[in-house]
Structure 1
Amino acid sequence: MEPVIELVSTGDEVLTGLIVDTNAAWLSQRLLEQGWQVRRRFTLGDDKADLVALFEQRSHEADLVIVNGGLGPTSDDISAEAMAAAAGVPLELNEHWLAVMEQKYASRNRAMPKSNIKQAMLPRGAELVDNPIGTACGFAVRLNRATFIFTPGVPSELKKMVEEEILPRMQRQFGGRGSNQVRRFFLFGLSESGLSDRLDNQSWPSGITLGYRANLPTIELKLIIERDDVAAIAAAEAQLLAEVGAHLVARDELNFATSLGPLLHKQELTLFEEASGGRLTDTISTITAEFEGHYLSGLPDNAEDLGLWLQRSARPLALAVGAEGPEGVPVALLTEQSCQVQTLKLHFRDPLSRRRLLAFVALDMLRRHLQGQEVMIDYDILPCSERLVLASAS
């Protein structure tokens, strides 16, 4: 049986939205990648009574509760105090952690403020969970059915503790990795709702769940498999790719430096852009240093003129994002064989989103060419008003 895993985020600044809770999102995804799916997430402010009530309640329902935040030295950091109250035990000074903190300050030639002693006050019987880079130690407490693990709110500290302390602990407690498996697919050109319409009504193998996360310009699609069934996994992947494979940009990780960098090695690439506002050059610079970029004003605003201009102005391999015209923005790819151009309409008003989308279209055309795929396809989110192929000028 899968363990019931829950997350609790604490702090008035998190509850009120003054701080975006990226820790919970990262932790949920990291656990999912390891085969464990978070069942519930809670967010509470700095109210001791609320925290005590929640800890007591969840101790009867969950197997593991990871609490984030509230371990600092100030008066509003009350996670340890609330856990002690829920467990009916006092706080006690952890001499080991006090010595660790004093040593950390001494290594920086500083005296430790007395307020930091609070960070070594743990509920009686708590097991220390090491924090190698900060002063807020983690700790674990068993209450009724649940094990509570407390972590600091600083993202870098949380992530290191998860990798080095919490994941190994979970593997010991629950017997290796979780039974869930995750396949990640990065898609471009589809809307989240359009993708859902295509996939949600299909019949999937038993134990298969789909998850979506829009992160312009791509959508991350997760295929979550609740059991170790090679045949079911293969069938689900084949079904998925048959429906949306034309829009697949990457699997598992969206890293063009890894996937396209080797393909561009020793190739001369020239970029011209106007409507993308330099975004294409910025993106390509993360993939390869072997290119020449030009941010120009006055580029053609239609497909034919941009294609002819690119043939006159550059040698293959070259990309161009033209000016915006009545029919949209033309984007062209010049290769040894031809010059392929498409004019796309943008319905996004935000200037940054528009530039990112245009740069990604150009990058997608280049990727498709390098990987031997059809260069121009239909994008649901970017209607095409014009598309043409000009023969090589040579």
Structure 2
Amino acid sequence: MEPVIELISTGDEVLTGLITDTNAGWLSQRLLEQGWQVRRRFTVGDDKADLVELFEQRSHHADVVIVNGGLGPTSDDISAEAMAEAAGVPLVLNEPWLKLMQEKYAGRNRNMPESNIKQAMLPEGAELVDNPVGTACGFAVQYNRALFFFTPGVPSELKKMMDQEILPRLRNRLGQRGQSQVRRYFLFGLSESGLSDRLDPLPWPDGITLGYRANSPTIELKLIIGTDNREAIRTAETQLLEQVGSHVVARNELKFEGLAAQLHDRDLVVFEDASGGRLTDTLHTLTSEFEGHYLAGLPDTADDLAQWLKGSGRATTLAIGAEGPEGIPLALLTPEGCRAQTLKMHFRDPLMRRRLLAFAAFDMLRRQLQGLPVIVDYDILPRSELISLPQ
């Protein structure tokens, strides 16, 4: 049975939106990379009664709870106090941590403020979790069913403690899992609902589930593996790729570092109209070694855009034309010839339209560089015209 892991973010500034809670997202992703999917996330302010109530409640439902924030030296940092009250134990001074804090301050030629002593006051019986960066130590408490880990809110401290201290403890408690337990695929051209319709009805092996995350212009599809059965893993990945393999643009990370080297000697030229310069921005994340032009009045059909490119006398040219009655044309000219298509755009949001157009054009270039068919059917961008002109 999969362990129930939950996250609690604390602090009025997080609850009210004054601070964006990036820690919870990072924790969820980091745990998922190890093969553990977070079941629930909670956010609570600096109210001790609310914290005590939530700790008590979650202690009966979760196997692991990671609490982030509330370990500082000020009066509103009350996570340790709330945990002690929930568990019905006193706060006690952790002498080794107090000494370590004093040494840290002495190493900076400073006297430790009295308020920092609070950071060494832990619930009786708690296990200290080292913080090699800051003065707020973490700690772990077994309370009812749940093992609680308390972590500071400073991202750099949290990340180091998570990797060096908490993940090793979780592996010992929950079983060793490796990076291969989550396989990530970034897809373009499918809607999240369409992807779900394709994949969810299929019979997936026991211990393997799917996860989806839309992040325009791509969708991240996760194969979450909770089994050591290699045949089951191979079957699941084969089934996935049979369904959506033509739409996979990247794996593990949405990066295209290899394409930059392939573009180095291409003398790439870019023309764009309806995408409003977004294609140039997209390509600049890979390389600056191309010639970009943002022009109004480019052809508005695939045939006209292809003919226009062929007459330009360029070697490798990528273009997005103007919007016409049938849609927006995209064309790629290479020494082998010109391939062009007109895509219909049903999205009204201007930024979304430019993102999708730019990535569709980029995908044509990516496919050509990787030796794949340049044109593929996109569910979210139906094609109204397809042109192929030999050189």
Counterpart of 2:64?
A: 64
**C-alpha distance in structure 2 between counterparts of 1:280 and 1:111, whole Å:** 55
**SS at the partner of 2:242?**
helix
Q: Over residues 366-385 of structure 1, what are the superposed CA-to-partner deviations in whole Å (9 max), with x where a residue is unaligned?
A: 11111121111221111222
Between 286-295 and 74-83, the greater mean CA deviation after superposition: 286-295
Amino acid at match of 1:139: F
Counterpart of 1:52?
A: 52
Map 1:199-214 to 2 at 5 A: 199-214=199-214
Number of aligned residue pairs: give it.
391
5+ unaligned residues in a row in structure 1: which ranges?
A: none
Counterpart of 1:87?
A: 87
Q: What is the Cα deviation at residue 287 of structure 1?
A: 1.7
**C-alpha distance in structure 2 between counterparts of 1:386 and 1:108, whole Å:** 69
**C-alpha distance in structure 2 between counterparts of 1:294 and 1:322, whole Å:** 12
Counterpart of 2:314?
A: 315
Map 1:214-253 to 2 at 5 A: 214-253=214-253
**SS at the partner of 1:6?**
strand
**C-alpha distance in structure 1 between counterparts of 2:161 and 2:344, whole Å:** 46
Structure 1 residues 330 and 146: alpha-carbon distance in aligned structure 2, compared to 1, 3 A threshold:
same
Is the 1:271–1:293 contact (alpha carbons within 8 Å) kept by the matching residues of 2?
yes
Give the alignment's TM-score, normalised by structure 1.
0.90
Structure 1 residues 369 and 114: alpha-carbon distance in aligned structure 2, compared to 1, 3 A threshold:
same
Q: Over residues 161-199 of structure 1, what are the superposed CA-to-partner deviations in whole Å (9 max), with x where a residue is unaligned?
A: 211221112123333227992221111000001111111
Counterpart of 2:378?
A: 379
Counterpart of 2:181?
A: 181
**C-alpha distance in structure 2 between counterparts of 1:111 and 1:355, whole Å:** 56
Counterpart of 2:282?
A: 283
RMSD: 2.5
Map 1:248-259 to 2 at 5 A: 248-257=248-257, 259=258
Is the 1:281–1:293 contact (alpha carbons within 8 Å) kept by the matching residues of 2?
yes
Amino acid at match of 2:235: A
Q: What is the Cα deviation at residue 35 of structure 1?
A: 1.8
Q: Over residues 233-261 of structure 1, what are the superposed CA-to-partner deviations in whole Å (9 max), with x where a residue is unaligned?
A: 1111111111111111112221111x423
Counterpart of 1:157?
A: 157
**SS at the partner of 2:262?**
helix
**C-alpha distance in structure 1 between counterparts of 2:240 and 2:293, whole Å:** 39
Is the 1:36–1:180 contact (alpha carbons within 8 Å) kept by the matching residues of 2?
no
Is the 1:62–1:146 contact (alpha carbons within 8 Å) kept by the matching residues of 2?
yes
Give the alignment's TM-score, normalised by structure 2.
0.91
1:141 and 2:141 correspond: yes
Q: Over residues 326-365 of structure 1, what are the superposed CA-to-partner deviations in whole Å (9 max), with x where a residue is unaligned?
A: 3322211111111111122222233222222111111100
Q: What is the Cα deviation at residue 38 of structure 1?
A: 2.4
**SS at the partner of 1:211?**
strand
Q: What is the Cα deviation at residue 267 of structure 1?
A: 2.5
Q: What is the Cα deviation at residue 212 of structure 1?
A: 0.7
Structure 1 residues 351 and 95: alpha-carbon distance in aligned structure 2, compared to 1, 3 A threshold:
farther
**C-alpha distance in structure 2 between counterparts of 1:105 and 1:320, whole Å:** 60
Is the 2:33–2:179 contact (alpha carbons within 8 Å) kept by the matching residues of 1?
no
Structure 1 residues 265 and 80: alpha-carbon distance in aligned structure 2, compared to 1, 3 A threshold:
same
Q: Over residues 20-65 of structure 1, what are the superposed CA-to-partner deviations in whole Å (9 max), with x where a residue is unaligned?
A: 4332232122212112232333332222112112222333443321
**SS at the partner of 1:132?**
coil
Structure 1 residues 213 and 58: alpha-carbon distance in aligned structure 2, compared to 1, 3 A threshold:
same
**C-alpha distance in structure 1 between counterparts of 2:170 and 2:223, whole Å:** 23
Counterpart of 1:366?
A: 365
**SS at the partner of 1:333?**
strand
Map 1:266-305 to 2 at 5 A: 266-305=265-304
5+ unaligned residues in a row in structure 2: which ranges?
A: none
**SS at the partner of 2:157?**
helix
